[in-house]
Amino acid sequence: MTQDLQETIRRAQRGDRDAFSLLVEQHYAAMFSFACRYCGDRQDAQDVTQQACIKLARAIEQFRFESAFSTWLYRLVINCARDWHKAQRSRGCGERGGELDDVPTHDNAESAVMLRQVIALVERMGEGFRESLVLVLGEGLTHAEAAAILEVKESTVSWRLHEIRKRLNAGLNAELQPGVGV
Amino acid sequence: MNDRELENLFARLDDAPNVDAKERALTAALQAFDAVQHEKNSANASQGFAAASRLTSERPSFGRKIMQRLTTRNSTQRWLYSGMASAAVLVLGVFVALQLPQYSGVEVPTEVASVVRMTDLAVPAERRIDTMVRGVGSDAVREKKAEIAENASVAQLSADESEVDMPAAVAAAAAPAALQRSFALEQGIVFANRLGGIAADAIAPPGYQDVGRDKFETAAANPIKRTSEEPVSTFSIDVDTASYSFARRQLNAGALPQKAAVRLEEMVNYFPYDYPLPPDTSQPFSTNVTVLDSPWKAGNKLVHIGIQGYEVTGAQPRANIVFLLDVSGSMDSPDKLPLVKQSVSLLLDRLQPQDTVAIVVYAGAAGTVLEPTQVKDKQKILAALNRLQAGGATAGGKGIQLAYQLAESQFIEDGVNRIVLATDGDFNVGIYDTEELKGFVERKRESGVFLSVLGFGQGNYHDALMQTLAQNGNGVAAYIDTLGEAQKVLVDEATSALFPIAKDVKIQVEFNPATVSEYRLLGYETRMLAEEDFNSDTVDAGDIGAGHSVTAIYEITPAGSDSGAFAGSRYAEAPVSAGKSDEYGYLKLRYKLPQESKSRLISQPIGMHTQATPDMLREAQFATAVAGFAQLLEGGKYLAGWGFADALELAQANRGDDPYGYRAEFIQLIRKAQVAGAM
């Protein structure tokens, strides 16, 4: 962690509004990018990121410099995303299926739909699988880094990814055609 | 699909943030941040409330815009705004001076002004003005508040910019306007402080007061029944008294209570009656039946059933009490939280030194204010009690679960384990659904922890819910409107509220068709049971506490009397006398001892010619007066012209000893109803 970042966090923890504002400015892009990969949907990701930013206002005080700030932020976003999806489900609307925003290119649209299908599938494998997938393959983190964020053993992350590969390769390619609802 | 393909899927995702969305998130986050900071400054640490996260707005607030404009270093504008700041504070000063003439000559302490750094001034001023506005509670001032607060922060800003770090006397030479501003602000502070002090002393805290949201459930009066069709009547006893005190409050305010708020049995049972005590403790109570003429319908008779529980003699059972207190913002009224505090401290006097008391509060969040503490540490309990303040948001906590947890942790076998819930009606105790709450309390009852409910205040009183909870929690629902009522419920009758001597007490009367043609039960509408429930030990019913007396009244039409409501039937055969022609009916009573789950039965005939003692007759007459009064408040459907004046006469003639003055008060209440009814 750079000296600057540490100083900014400490100032924000003391109630410095500008420091907090700077913190959000600096990390919004990273949070949003991760939320996109986690949700597979820009609109959801925007909402989740906004929730995470709001949560940060209260949670920043609890950051103890025991882990990297980015690790801590990943946890925050994951928690917000889980809460968000829980709330969505209890409101009766499932995760966004087909409609797309921001008019992406045709190529992108296909891969986005594909990704959502993969995510939906992995989500149903159990708790922690989706997070492991997004952190390792989406964010390019090592198994150890992902394990630190999820607060599990490194072997657990490796095992989860192994299971995910098995599941995706077990003749499911046929199911995962663009446009086929999962 | 392999890892590379998956990575590609992720990589091809468009994850560039949208500028607008980012701006929105930032604004929302900053608002939340401000809220957190504000909360940190003003939160009551001992209760630890958490405010709900604020709604997010897409536009920056007006205040922020002004701040931005000011930082543009447009000097004309700056002076304009700082001028406005001083003007506004002066306006406030004048307003305050006019409001409080005795303080119009307040001198400004210049030595203070010269020491205080100007940069420090604005913020306290803003906060104090805020406090003052809250203290005064006038709408006009409240409107001014926003303006002043804004201007105060503007003044701070300009003070910051001029970087005044020296005594005001020096600053005066350089910036006369700034000095003037500082005086104006200082003056504002002085006024605000004085006013704050005065407001705290003289003006009752205004508090938030709901109006007209009291909730009652209407239960139609029990109808007249033909003995030939339905000879058996079954109900559960009811020892609540909430209805009477609620009606009293309304009447004292000069209004008749709403009909749904009147429950006859609760009004009748409010009064202690001088029934004979049971001869020994083998049977927890005595049953007394008195038959007298109906005052409102010639020919009809009233059958009084009076039950008197024994008094606790010797050692009082040990008690483990958890107070679950509502401290939400709506409790901030002199007749609510302060009364709750007084009531609790009254009850402490009735407990023994080794009994334990704990306090759980709920509002924004639930919290244990006092871990279970023995009553001998009374100072500690009182200190915890006095720290309580009404305030906090709406979101519920785990209040009721927490209270049960504490009660269970201190569970006393063979003792009294009870939660006393005090609230003005907001039941955000952690379980929202009424049915679920009911079920929860019911399950917990099986574990031996009972629940009593004390209602406070007016305007948002959820009567039905409180009844339900107390009924399901084997407890008493009482409504406390004055300290006198608190004294009655928690001191004079503390033993009956705290120590049950019998539970699931049910009454069943079988009328004799040969001697009674019609009957009607007065009150107990919400307590009716099916005939078969009487013998079922799984059906819950009311409980009797030590020293409690319970009264039930039937109005009957003897066979052959023409005072009945129904016309005779042409076809039905005249009932055949079963050889018991000197009995009106047969009274059966089932109860369980507190630790038992199998019920016991008491029964006795209701004789036609049994002579009542003068004492019993007097008590029955007084109960009749109360029952008549309650019916009048409900509309007097069966009273045929019998009015308040008759009730007054009957009550006055049968006042008896009346050691606590409850009956005298009742007589006053009839007079008030007369006046209120005429309006």
Given the structure tokens 């699909």, which residue do they identify? B1
What's the CATH number where B600 sits? 2.60.40.1230
B162 occurs within a structural domain: yes
Residue B9 domain flag: no
Residue A177: band (very low, low, confident or very high) from pLDDT cuts 50, 70, 90: very low
Asked if residue B674 and residue B632 are part of one domain, the reply reads: yes
Residue B393 lies in a domain: yes
- Cα→Cα distances B190→B106, B129, B205, B385, Å: 8, 10, 21, 32
Helix (H, G, I), strand (E, B) or coil at B646: helix
Residues in chain B with pLDDT < 70?
Answer: 1, 42-82, 92-215, 314, 364-366, 391-398, 426-433, 459-460, 572-579, 678-679
The predicted pLDDT at position B508 comes to 94
Assess whether B552 and B523 both reside in one domain: yes
* Best residue in B1, B10, B54, B123 for a mutation probing chain A (most A CBs within 10 Å): B10
Percent of chain A with pLDDT over 70: 82
B269 and B349, same domain (yes or no): no
Do B339 and B474 lie in a common domain? yes
CB pairs A-B closer than 8 Å: 116
Q: What is the mean pLDDT of residues A149-171?
A: 84
What CATH number has the domain bearing residue B491? 3.40.50.410
Asked if residue B2 belongs to a domain, the reply is no
Same domain? B383 vs B472? yes
Summarize the confidence of residues A1-24 as an average pLDDT.
87
Number of domains chain B is built from: 3
The answer for residues whose C-beta is within 8 angstroms of residue B132's C-beta and 6 or more apart is B141, B191, B192, B195, B196, B199
Residues of B in contact with A165 (CB under 8 A): 2-3
Neighbours of A58 (CB within 10 A): 16
Nearest CB to B37: which of A15, A42, A169?
A15
Complete domains list, chain A, with CATH? 1-96 (1.10.1740.10), 100-182 (1.10.10.10)
Residues B168 and B275 in one domain: no
Binning chain A into helix, strand and coil, the percentages to the nearest 5 are 70, 0, 30
B294-298 own/partner pairs: CB under 8 Å, 24+ apart: B294/B555, B295/B624, B295/B628, B295/B642, B295/B646, B295/B650, B296/B628, B296/B638, B296/B639, B296/B640, B296/B641, B296/B642, B296/B646, B297/B555, B297/B563, B297/B638, B297/B640, B298/B563
Interface TM-score (ipTM) > 0.85: no
Say if residue B506 is in the same domain as residue B489.
no
CB within 8 Å: A50 and B6: no
What pLDDT shows up at residue A49?
A: 92
- pLDDT value of residue B169: 40
Cβ of B9 within 8 Å of Cβ of A118? The answer is yes
Residues B460 and B588 grouped into a single domain: no
Is B29 inside any structural domain?
A: no
Q: Is residue B532 part of a domain?
A: yes
Geometric angle at alpha carbon B407, from B401 and B409, rounded to 5°:
100
Residue B384 and residue B249 in one domain: no
pLDDT tens per residue, range A125-148: 888 888 899 899 888 888 888 988
Residues B188 and B270 in one domain: no
Which 3 state secondary structure label does DSSP give B162? helix
Same-domain pairing of B544 and B485 = no
CB interface of A with B, residues 103-142, below 8 Å: 104, 107-108, 111-112, 114-115, 118, 133-134, 137-138, 140
Nearest in space to B42 (alpha carbons), one of B130, B154, B137, B108: B130
Whether residue B627 is contained in a domain is answered as yes
- Partner-chain residue, chosen from A25, A57, A133, that has the shortest CB–CB distance to B32: A57
Domain that holds residue B89: 62-202
- Is B210 domain-assigned? no
The rounded distance, in Å, linking the Cα atoms of B494 and A81 is 53
**CB-CB under 8 Å, B32 with A24:** no
* Domain identity same for B81 and B198: yes
Report d(CA B582, CA B429) in Å as an integer. 55
Out of B167, B202, B237, a domain closes at: B202
How close, in Å, is residue B140 to chain A by CA atoms? 32
Gap between the Cα atoms of B387 and B393, Å rounded = 18
Residue with tokens 């709750």: B340
